Amino acid sequence: MLGPVVVDIEGTALSARERERLCHPLVGQVILFSRNFESPRQLGELTAQIRSLRDPPLLVCVDHEGGRVQRFRTGFTRIEPMAHLGQAWDLGVLPACRAALSTGYVIASELRSRGVDLSFAPVLDLDWRRSEVIGDRALHADPRVVTMLASHLIQGMSQAGMACCGKHFPGHGWTRADSHHEIPSDERSLRKILDQDAAPYEWLGIGLASVMPAHVIYPKVDRHPAGFSRRWIEDILRTRLGFTGAVYSDDLSMAGAAVAGPLIERATAALDAGCDFILVCNDPDGCDSLLQELTWTHGKHFDARLRRLQPKAPAPCPERLGEDPVYRAALRDLEKRSSMQ
């Protein structure tokens, strides 16, 4: 059985300590970063090491959105910032939808060919031109456009066998503060947030396999950041908006999570609020302590939500990916867009 904790590793191969940590029953997934990547071949060897440790294998995840947030570059297609798709929409709706579809397919097929199961994408935040940490990661300022482009990105990922994760619920685009370093606050009313930033989460419906809440406080709704708020996760996301997938906490080591207390209290608060999975990154000692202290109840929906995140088809062979006509067609779409910019 896989557990709810998502952990990272330090280098390009597993250490003995990391192998032991990944075998802990509370661990269920591994998130990779740029520091874990040297080449596509090395990445494939690393993910194979990770997958060999458990049965069923641990899920391997990454933030690979494109633009500034693309963890693997050499040997991978350069993915443009998502804002470029929004700009393309303003010039022509249907070509932009095709480009989004192809982008999702290329991202997912390349990752899956090297053993990565899930990318934490797409970003559903609105481009309010206020948040530097979001910036060109946002697709558009209009929630309707964000929804349409995101749905095509998700469809492309799904065609390559990969699930999706919409982030950062209910929206990180309005706040100027970066939750990696501060505790942001959004003073708007619940009605404004639901009508604008959170609208894509409702409109995408069952298309969203998972969601990641923001480390942002919305004081007119709850005093807790969204990722630690049962009101946001259970009452609003699940009940009011009808979301049925998995919920990931954002990284519990970020400054935006500090309001919840020490790491064990952050983890407990996130799980109690309704998160199915909790990320613990860049703190191996803290992670080991957490795994010894954390008490977790295997909920009745956990297995079904986890299944929705697992790949839906065999991973493509990396040496033969270029022979796949669908991949080649998607790649041509991206190359065509690049040549036009």
- The residue with greater pLDDT, 184 or 3, is 3
Write down the pLDDT at residue 261: 87
Does residue 290 fall inside a structural domain?
yes
Q: Which residue has the tokens 């608060």?
A: 269
CA gap 192, 70 in Å, rounded: 31
> For the whole model, what pTM was predicted?
0.96
Does residue 29 fall inside a structural domain?
yes
Does residue 306 fall inside a structural domain?
yes
Does residue 78 fall inside a structural domain?
no
Does residue 69 fall inside a structural domain?
no
State the average pLDDT over residues 291-312: 95
Write down the pLDDT at residue 339: 65
pLDDT of 204 strictly over 70 = yes
The number of residues making up the chain comes to: 341
Write down the pLDDT at residue 183: 82
State the average pLDDT over residues 232-259: 92
Domain range for 49: 1-62+277-310
Write down the pLDDT at residue 341: 66
Write down the pLDDT at residue 132: 84
Write down the pLDDT at residue 179: 63
Strand 64-66 relative to strand 69-70: parallel, antiparallel, unpaired?
antiparallel
Does residue 250 fall inside a structural domain?
no
Does residue 330 fall inside a structural domain?
no
Write down the pLDDT at residue 260: 74
User: In the structure encoding, which two tokens stand for residue 142, read together?
Assistant: 């209009």
Q: How far is CA 200 from CA 131, 143, 168, 208, 256, in A?
A: 19, 6, 11, 10, 23
**Binning pLDDT at 50, 70 and 90, where does residue 181 land?**
low
Total count of domains within the chain: 1
Does residue 175 fall inside a structural domain?
no
Q: Which active-site residues does the annotation give?
A: 180, 250
Q: In what order do the strands lie in the sheet with 166-169?
A: 166-169, 210-213, 246-247
Beta bridge partners of 60: 30
**Average pLDDT score over the chain:** 95
Write down the pLDDT at residue 182: 75
pLDDT of 67 strictly over 70 = yes
pLDDT of 150 strictly over 90 = yes
